[in-house]
């Protein structure tokens, strides 16, 4: 029997709301009533996080006390420009890249992955409007796609801006549990998802 995977979704001040709530919705909807995914938010500490638009969110765990994650998702938003310089978070992301099954990024969450030093030689994508910012911090060996909705590097999967995180998360479910599960998840969400060949 397939073990239930822990899905840790990082949140921080000024995180883009749909960057983390979209994938959260996908993984809980696609979890077969919690049997296949245990989805939770995690932050640097236990204090409430103020997402964009002053949405206050209580993280379920701090990074030092969360269940060992199998899948880690790093969202973007204006706050990513500050948090990419937060060594506590980038060190944690680097550790997750070593120890987790999958490391995912949405939008400018890619900046944190770049600062964590885990993108050497990979194909990258981010919000179209942040491509130049990513280029400044990405390793020279990486290739940035300005057209892909998401890119699959094996362990590290990255998506473009905001709503692309939903598409990527459905793709991750299809990769792990089969396309039928992903299509059923999209149907439950009344989300118009068409499986595409990833770049």
Domain ranges within the chain, ordered by starting residue: 5-188
Q: Rounded CA gap, 58 and 111, in Å?
A: 24
Mean of all residue pLDDT scores within the chain: 96
Claim: this prediction has a pTM higher than 0.85: yes
Tally of CB atoms within 10 A around 129: 11
Residue 199 has pLDDT above 60, yes or no: no
Please check whether residue 104 is in contact with residue 37, taking contact to mean a CB–CB distance below 8 angstroms. Answer: no
- Mean pLDDT within 158-173: 96
Burial of 7 (0-12, 13-18, 19+ CB in 10 A): buried
Q: Rounded CA gap, 114 and 133, in Å?
A: 11
Q: How confident is the model at residue 1 (pLDDT cuts 50, 70, 90)?
A: low
Q: Which helix (H) or strand (E) holds 14?
A: none
* DSSP 8-state class, residue 104: E
pLDDT of amino acid 195: 82
Q: How confident is the model at residue 129 (pLDDT cuts 50, 70, 90)?
A: very high
How big is the chain by its Cα radius of gyration, in Å? 15
End-to-end Cα distance, the chain: 31
Fold of domain 5-188: Rossmann fold (3.40.50)
- C-alpha distances (whole Å) from 188 to each of 26, 93, 107, 182, 191 are 10, 31, 24, 10, 8
pLDDT tens-place string over residues 130-152: 999 999 999 999 999 999 999 99
Tokens of 9: 């979704």
Q: How confident is the model at residue 197 (pLDDT cuts 50, 70, 90)?
A: low
Please check whether residue 160 is in contact with residue 127, taking contact to mean a CB–CB distance below 8 angstroms. Answer: yes
pLDDT of amino acid 196: 75
């Amino acid at each position: 029997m397939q073990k239930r995977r822990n899905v840790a979704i990082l949140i921080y001040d000024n995180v883009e709301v749909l960057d983390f709530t979209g994938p959260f919705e996908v993984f809980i909807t696609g979890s077969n009533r919690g049997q296949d995914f245990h989805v939770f938010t995690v932050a640097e500490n236990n204090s409430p996080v103020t997402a964009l638009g002053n949405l206050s969110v209580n993280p379920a765990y701090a990074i030092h006390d969360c269940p060992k994650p199998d899948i880690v998702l790093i969202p973007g938003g204006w706050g990513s420009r500050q948090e990419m310089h937060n060594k506590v978070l980038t060190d944690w992301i680097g550790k997750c890249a070593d120890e987790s099954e999958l490391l995912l990024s949405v939008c400018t969450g890619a900046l944190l992955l770049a600062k964590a030093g885990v993108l050497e030689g990979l194909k990258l994508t981010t919000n179209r409007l942040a491509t130049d910012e990513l280029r400044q911090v990405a390793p020279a060996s990486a290739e940035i796609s300005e057209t892909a909705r998401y890119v699959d590097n094996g362990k590290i999967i990255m998506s473009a801006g905001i709503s692309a995180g939903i598409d990527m998360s459905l793709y991750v479910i299809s990769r792990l549990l089969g396309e039928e599960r992903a299509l059923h998840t999209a149907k439950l969400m009344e989300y118009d998802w068409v499986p595409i060949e990833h770049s």
